[in-house]
Structure 1
Amino acid sequence: MTTRILLNCDMGESFGAWRMGDDAHAMPLIDQANLACGFHAGDPLTIQRTVALAVQHGVSIGAHPSYPDLAGFGRRHLACSAEEVEALVLYQLGALDAFCQAAGTQLAYVKPHGALYNDLVRDDELLDAVLRACASFRRDLPLMVLALADNSRERRLAAAVGVPLLFEAFADRAYLADGQLAPRRLAGAVHQDPERTLSQALSIARGQPFADLDGKPLQLQADSLCVHGDNPESLAVLRRLRAQLDAA
């Protein structure tokens, strides 16, 4: 088994009195933390505390920008123009970076959240808008995108603006045959069985095929593996996955 794959988790997604995830216990187990920037979750104090937690544990900080959709947790598709998307992503990067600078660190990458993340798979103009936001913020700032069966499109558009890419796979989400995530409205789209989640995670880390939503084999090449923090079983899975990767 290769241990080169990184582990990432969506974090800082609490808002005011509302709590999401167990960031304090998950942070020591991961390599990359995708921090909400206030548009789908996260408030200034939550962002500040989560940045400090990441710095404490030596975890890379990624921006997790979304559509402006607090009520829908960023999972609703909004009719934003490419120009709007470029501006709203740049706005969120600046907000998170202020806390990073104050803590003596910097943004390491960008991973869009929810509906925006999924829209980038299908919409060249939106993907180009997010790439432009990354490039204008900092020339070497990588964008994390979904690892598909074929990522030639993403590579081509990113190369045109000089943005590095990180390819991501998911431990706890079911996949369609082309490597796209199964929509959450479909039964079985989110794995509830921790054994299924761990098995899929280890297959991806090893570069081996795993079953898609229809039970057919799918193989993905990924730089980073996501375990969602809002899955009730995520902490237990992270502990077992971290131990197995470290032991290899």
Structure 2
Amino acid sequence: MRVVLSNGYRWTKIPASEVANIISLSRSLGFKAIILEVHDTTGYGEDGAACSLVQAVEYWKEIKSVLDGNEDFVIINIGNEPYGNNNYQNWVNDTKNAIKALRDAGFKHTIMVDAPNWGQDWSNTMRDNAQSIMEADPLRNLVFSIHMYGVYNTASKVEEYIKSFVDKGLPLVIGEFGHQHTDGDPDEEAIVRYAKQYKIGLFSWSWCGNSSYVGYLDMVNNWDPNNPTPWGQWYKTNAIGTK
């Protein structure tokens, strides 16, 4: 499960006490691991309301006390889609610096890194620099996350991107994907098929609460698990299985 947090830059800050409750509840419900992410970084450089990875790191430091001791359970997704399409080349050094800052602060958790270009890495900036980013982590405890929407509208594009990481022995997850989007029509069938074939993680976006213009990405209606949307039903049947 991937959980949206806010550092208070764009939305209401999620305090450490609430994060502790999220971790405790998730453990009690039987989850094997959860991913926590700062959402305020979304589209940095293009969206003027977004914060930087530096500011995201400060939030992680602020709530470190409730993350310590949960290294076996919590994956730290430094920032969601931390660059848009402007100045995205800066993503490489900013990501390396964020990883170093977290390790210097004593975090030993697995760190998840989102791609630039609103998470879709159409420029292949993450793909082409993934090895050097891994080497920038003294613990070598990273996982790379690609978000697949309109850029990944054919099976060949999906497989080529996944295979580029698999062939290098670098860990990749599909940290978000949908069945349609404002920027095009993703090939959701190929995304699920190749994730299974190459045995990589797969996270659909998202449970509920999307803004109206992307409301079709809600998987259930009104937060009700017994009332799936067409997208939710498709995912349940095709990605998970009817169980």
TM-score, normalised to structure 2's length? 0.54
Alignment partners' CA distance in 1, 2:59 and 2:25: 19
Q: After superposition, what is the alpha-carbon deviation per residue over 1:36-64, rounded to whole angstroms, capped at 9, x for unaligned? A: 14233343365455444433431633232
Pair 68,157 (structure 1): closer, same or farther in 2 beyond 3 Å: closer
Matched, 1:205 2:189: no
Q: Specify whether residues 97 and 54 from structure 1 end up closer, same or farther in structure 2 by C-alpha distance, changes over 3 A only.
A: farther
Q: Residue 62 of structure 1: which of 35, 40, 60 is its match?
A: 35
* % identity of equivalent residues: 8
SS of 2:74's equivalent in the other structure is: coil
Q: In the alignment, what sits opposite 1:76?
A: 47
Task: Give the aligned length.
Answer: 186
Which whole-Å CA distance do the structure 2 matches of 1:165 and 1:127 have between them? 11
Check whether the contact 2:7–2:14 (CA below 8 A) recurs between aligned residues: yes
Higher RCO (Cα < 8 Å, 6 or more apart):
1
Written as runs of structure 1 = structure 2, the 5 A alignment for 1:108-123 is 108-116=75-83, 121-123=88-90
Amino acid at match of 1:243: T
Q: Secondary structure at the match of 1:232?
A: helix
C-alpha distance in 2 between matches for 1:189 and 1:78: 20
What SS is found at the alignment partner of 1:144? strand
Q: Distance in 2 between matches of 1:166 and 1:74?
A: 23
Q: 1:101 to 1:140 in 2, by over 3 A?
A: closer
**Which of the residues 222, 232, 247 maps onto 2:215?**
232
> What is the TM-score normalised by the length of structure 1?
0.53
User: 1:167 touches 1:222 (CA, 8 Å); kept in 2?
Assistant: no
Unaligned runs of at least 5 residues, structure 2? 162-180, 220-228
| Shift in CA distance, 74/49, structure 1 to aligned 2, threshold 3 Å | farther
* TM-fit CA distance, 1:73: 10
How many angstroms apart in 2 are the aligned matches of 1:121 and 1:140? 26
CA RMSD in angstroms, aligned pairs only? 4.5
Distance 1:114 1:152, change over 3 A: closer
